[in-house]
Structure 1
Amino acid sequence: MAADGAQQPLLPGGGGGGEPADAIRRKPPDGVKRFRRCRTAPSSDPAAASEELHPPTPLGNASQTASPKKVLESGRPSPSFRLVGLLLLAYVVAGTTVFYLFMDHMSGHRSGSRVIDALYFCVVTMTTVGYGDLVPSSDTGKLLASAFAFGGVAVVGTSLSKSADYLVEKQESLVFRAVHAANFGKHPARELRAMEMNRTWYKLYAAGALLAASVASGTVVLWKGEGMRPVDALYCVCATVTTLGYGDRSFMSSAGRAFAAVWVTVSTVVVALFFLYVAELYAERRQRALARWVLTRRTTNTDLEAADLDGDRRVGAAEFVLYKLKELGKISQEEIAEFMEEFDELDADHNGTLSPSDLAVAQATA
């Protein structure tokens, strides 16, 4: 006989060590409800599946607590990150090569280096900046520019977004280490939960820092390297990072255009991410306000009627939770209906519950 309070197996014979059936079906004391904590649904990610088979050391054990470096380390770039990086490189190489070969079909200011001008035109095309200081002058050049403009929006936009997300995640990890490393060993689970709740703030801080660095570096290069007045340099930077590209101020020298090939790519994406995270933070605040309202408001008879899915004039725990999730916008009535249809298909004996025998019959029928 197991000690009182020991967790009983879910099914008879499931690792109970030969316990009697009456002990397995033993009810909790009167007035006490015992809920089993459901495990997370299996993940389609092979790495996550491996982690389920070999779970990490429990955080509650102080002697075996994982270090902040192990918990927060992002690891190597993911395959998708490498793939979009290769796509970006292929686009830039192809665009630079094509515009180098057809540079005679371009008009405007030349810097003196055919390769740098081709690279510069490729970058300002794919980032939709379009200064206008170097433009196609023939039908062939216009057709090529049109093709690379659409290609840049479709392929390079995704590549830059993935690259910037990876960079922001790295910055987020550094911010967390700087703020929470001192207390991580004491309360690791609490600190990780705090990091998850403030995740958008960390990304916004990182994107803001990168944006400030981009604006400052671009202004200094245009001021010192291109000979612009500080106001004109800042004006050109703002017109560039917002992809306006008026064209009255731009990079003219070979060194300036070589710098612009990298700077324009990074700065335009950083600006887009910064405002994306601002919108995401606003959406999160509205969602949290809605959650507080749903959790604190008084439940009425109208709520019970709406939560009663099976029409038995009683609301169980599952029905109540589903109703609250619907109020929070986490799940819709259509999704619940689809889940119920799947449940009915799997319930072979139509007794309102699922068992391994139901699954076996359903799989055999399918």
Structure 2
Amino acid sequence: MMASVSDDAKESLLPDTKARSHLNEKNALQRRRQNGVESPLPHEPISVKQQFSIKHVVFLLAAYLGGGTLCFFLIRNQIKGQKTNGILDAIYFCVVTMTTVGYGDLVPDSKLAKLLACIYVFTGMALVGLILSQAADYMVEKQEILVVRAISMSGKVSPNEILKEVETHKVKYKFIMVGVLLLVLIVVGTVFLFLVEELNFMDAFYCVCSTITTLGYGDQSFSTAGGRIFAIFWMLGSTICLAQFFLYLAELYTERRQISMVNWVLSRELTFSDLEAADLDRDKVVSAAEFVIYKLKEMGKISSEDVSVVMETFKRLDADQSGTLTKSDLMLSQSS
């Protein structure tokens, strides 16, 4: 993007990039067909989540709950409250602590027990925030296609169209998926408390809401052995599910605001001051690449600092100061 580069060279930058991208997509699609994979989206990104290990998460969760259960079982006499079975109460206490629900039906009653509880809650919050939420996001992403298929069931939709729809509206379908799952967990929890814990319907629903929001007043909780077995699994799933629900809600709101901003930027009329601002090399001509960079900055996709850093790297690599990068430039920059 230096002054010495011709306008034709500048204009050809984007078409060449597009052609190379199309060629790469075509080659990737051919490789997938040769391997017997049936038409995932050609432009489908390879994300870190696709390499996510559920076994790793299960191992960490089992180690965390196992270690906590052993510790709290050994000091069970230093924990007071409504007790059922030693091991079951220890596991239940671990889950109530790590999810920060804190009913108060079981509480530490010694300095050692309180110290262990403090350590356990901080490590539990880290585990839920960094690992279990990521695992939940991964599993929801794997189920998105089922949501799209269910929505598109009335019409004939090809697998390619389904995958394209999932990729285009990823956050929306994650939000729908988690919303449905959250509703199911609320209903199941309410019914269970009503039938097994013998709470009235309003108290059962109230207990469910205070649990999944981690409010945990403690006036209603799981007090039977069967209830605590159910709570160990239900509490962990429901609290994480609610957190993911609000996360996707925030992402969906942000995404729609960004789309509105992009539409406004692309539809508004260009002014002379816009042309001056877009002319990065001050040669009185705005190339296609300069126009793209200006519009991306206006959309908030990149900042002036981002452009400056990239341009500094370009200038450093452009050893002969020609305004273009060639093999000789790279050889010169590497040898210096």
Contact 2:97–2:117, Cα closer than 8 Å, also in 1: yes
Deviation at 1:348, TM superposition (A): 0.8
Relative to structure 1, the CA distance from residue 103 to residue 33 in structure 2 (aligned partners, 3 Å threshold; closer, same or farther) is: closer
Moved over 6 A (4+): 51-54, 68-71
Q: Give the match for residue 129 of structure 1.
A: 101
1:105 equivalenced with 2:78 (yes/no): yes
Q: Give the match for residue 7 of structure 1.
A: none
Deviation at 1:52, TM superposition (A): 8.0
1:312 equivalenced with 2:292 (yes/no): no
Contact 1:215–1:237, Cα closer than 8 Å, also in 2: yes
Q: Give the match for residue 203 of structure 1.
A: 174
Q: Give the match for residue 13 of structure 1.
A: none
Q: Which of residues 129, 152, 159 is equivalent to 2:131?
A: 159
Q: Give the match for residue 236 of structure 1.
A: 207
SS in 2 for 1:35: helix
Q: Give the match for residue 4 of structure 2.
A: none
SS in 2 for 1:314: coil
Q: Which of residues 147, 153, 158 is equivalent to 1:175?
A: 147
Q: Which of residues 171, 174, 197 is equivalent to 1:226?
A: 197
Deviation at 1:176, TM superposition (A): 2.3
Contact 1:84–1:162, Cα closer than 8 Å, also in 2: no
Aligned-partner Cα distance in 2 for 1:293–1:191: 28
Q: Which of residues 236, 261, 278 is equivalent to 2:232?
A: 261
Q: Give the match for residue 359 of structure 1.
A: 330
Aligned-partner Cα distance in 1 for 2:40–2:147: 12
Deviation at 1:33, TM superposition (A): 11
Deviation at 1:65, TM superposition (A): 9.2
SS in 2 for 1:107: strand
Name the TM-score, length of structure 1 as normaliser. 0.80
Name the TM-score, length of structure 2 as normaliser. 0.86
| 2:157 maps to amino acid | N
Give the total of aligned pairs: 317
Contact 1:85–1:163, Cα closer than 8 Å, also in 2: no
Contact 2:41–2:164, Cα closer than 8 Å, also in 1: no
Contact 1:96–1:119, Cα closer than 8 Å, also in 2: yes
Gaps of 5+ in 2: 1-7
1:322 equivalenced with 2:293 (yes/no): yes
1:36 equivalenced with 2:9 (yes/no): no
Contact 2:52–2:138, Cα closer than 8 Å, also in 1: no
Q: Give the match for residue 96 of structure 1.
A: 69
Aligned-partner Cα distance in 2 for 1:34–1:244: 54
Relative to structure 1, the CA distance from residue 194 to residue 173 in structure 2 (aligned partners, 3 Å threshold; closer, same or farther) is: closer
Aligned-partner Cα distance in 2 for 1:246–1:206: 29
Deviation at 1:158, TM superposition (A): 1.8
Aligned-partner Cα distance in 2 for 1:158–1:33: 41
Moved more, 80-89 or 131-140: 80-89
C-alpha distance after superposition, 1:202-259 (max 9, x if no partner): 1011101110111011111111001100110000000000000000000001111011
Supply the RMSD in Å over aligned alpha carbons: 3.0
Aligned residues with identical type, % of pairs = 48
Relative to structure 1, the CA distance from residue 85 to residue 363 in structure 2 (aligned partners, 3 Å threshold; closer, same or farther) is: farther
Greater RCO (Cα-Cα under 8 Å, separation 6 or more): 2
1:346 equivalenced with 2:326 (yes/no): no
Q: Which of residues 241, 246, 264 is equivalent to 2:217?
A: 246
Moved more, 269-278 or 83-92: 83-92
Contact 1:172–1:206, Cα closer than 8 Å, also in 2: yes
Q: Give the match for residue 185 of structure 2.
A: 214
1:86 equivalenced with 2:98 (yes/no): no
Aligned-partner Cα distance in 1 for 2:135–2:297: 35
